[in-house]
Amino acid sequence: MSDNRPLGIFDSGLGGLTVVNAIKQKIPNEHIVYVGDTARVPYGNKSVQLIVKFSSQITQFLLEKDAKLIVVACNTASALALPTLQNEFNIPIIGVITPGANSAAELTKNNKVGVIGTIATINSKVYQKELFKINPLINTISQACPLFVPLVEEGLLEGPIVSAIIAHYIKNLDLSRIDTLILGCTHYPLLKPAIKKYINNLMLIDSADSIAKEAYLILKNNHIINDNTKQGQQDFYVTDSPSNFANIARRFLGYPIQNVKTAPIS
């Protein structure tokens, strides 16, 4: 029987829209409810306790929207809150870390992988631990890039300021050693054209496509897939004013969205 309950997807802000886009491409008939915690972005410089609290609040909100699967489309929340969410809530909940690590492990030729992400994600060493579990021979070089999320949230994707900030962070990675670079934040793909100018021919990994495949398999294996042939609807919520969200969301999604609502989460 077809299950038309929505997928719940959340992020600290807009970055998770890259995951929305990938899921829409992979399983276009699924309904999606997206929450961007724009009032409290970024998560990357906050404590573990706060990130767990925020993630639990949003998960509860998505359950009230009758979500059948929740995707934590935020690397920081996936790194620090996912185990708590999976223990606390009786629903399939997946994060973006494992799919990204699996892709990097498959693609690296010299077992040397770079990771860029928020301060919280990098300090958690979650990608290093995940890659070690997959292949103990992989060496990981990490760099926190705390200014990347504010750049994307402000719509600053190119220009001298963006170039200077990228150069500042990338110089701390040993590009002569690594052959693969994980974009350890769902905001970062929007900076991909600018980042590519500084990383030679490294393989760039973002986990949106991988997590879309994982979501599809979970829906199929649990018999909760929506078999309706009509394209699924999308509902967007933010925790702050929705006015600016729609404008920036168009850059992520490639199409305009309307009727962004404010979620009563605080």
Do 140 and 66 lie in one domain? The reply is no
**pLDDT reading at 153 higher than 80:** no
Catalytically annotated residue among 67, 122, 166, 185: 185
Q: What is the pLDDT of residue 251?
A: 78
Residue listed under structure tokens 């996936």: 78
- Token reading at 215: 């979501």
**pLDDT reading at 17 higher than 90:** yes
Given pLDDT bands bounded at 50, 70 and 90, which one contains residue 231? confident
Question: Rounded to whole angstroms, what are the CA distances from 180 to 100, 121, 141, 177?
Answer: 11, 18, 10, 9
Q: Does any domain span residue 2?
A: no
Do 187 and 105 lie in one domain? The reply is yes
> What pLDDT, in 10s, does the model give residues 29-69?
999 999 999 999 888 889 999 999 999 999 999 999 999 99
Annotated catalytic residue 145: no
Do 200 and 122 lie in one domain? The reply is yes
Do 90 and 108 lie in one domain? The reply is no
Supply the range of the domain harboring residue 198.
Answer: 97-207
59-60-63-65 Cα dihedral, nearest 10 degrees: -100
Q: What is the pLDDT of residue 14?
A: 87
Highest mean pLDDT among 90-94, 155-159, 189-193, 242-246: 90-94
Say which DSSP state 239 is in.
S
Exposed / middle / buried, residue 134 (Cβ in 10 Å: 0-12, 13-18, 19+): middle
Residues pairing with 113 in the sheet: 140, 180
Annotated catalytic residue 185: yes
Helix (H, G, I), strand (E, B) or coil at 11: strand
**Over residues 231-237, mean pLDDT:** 93
Q: What is the pLDDT of residue 243?
A: 80
**pLDDT reading at 247 higher than 90:** no
Mean of all residue pLDDT scores within the chain: 92
**pLDDT reading at 246 higher than 80:** yes
Q: What is the pLDDT of residue 97?
A: 94
> What pLDDT, in 10s, does the model give residues 162-205?
999 999 999 988 888 999 999 998 888 889 999 999 988 899 99
CA distance 192 to 195: 5
Say which DSSP state 116 is in.
E
Catalytically annotated residue among 74, 93, 94, 225: 74
Residue listed under structure tokens 């989460």: 265
- Look at the chain and report how many structural domains it folds into: 2
Q: What is the pLDDT of residue 87?
A: 97
> Cis peptide leading into 42, omega within 30 of 0?
yes
CATH of residue 221's domain is: 3.40.50.1860
Given pLDDT bands bounded at 50, 70 and 90, which one contains residue 70? very high
Residue listed under structure tokens 């494992």: 98
Q: Does any domain span residue 254?
A: yes
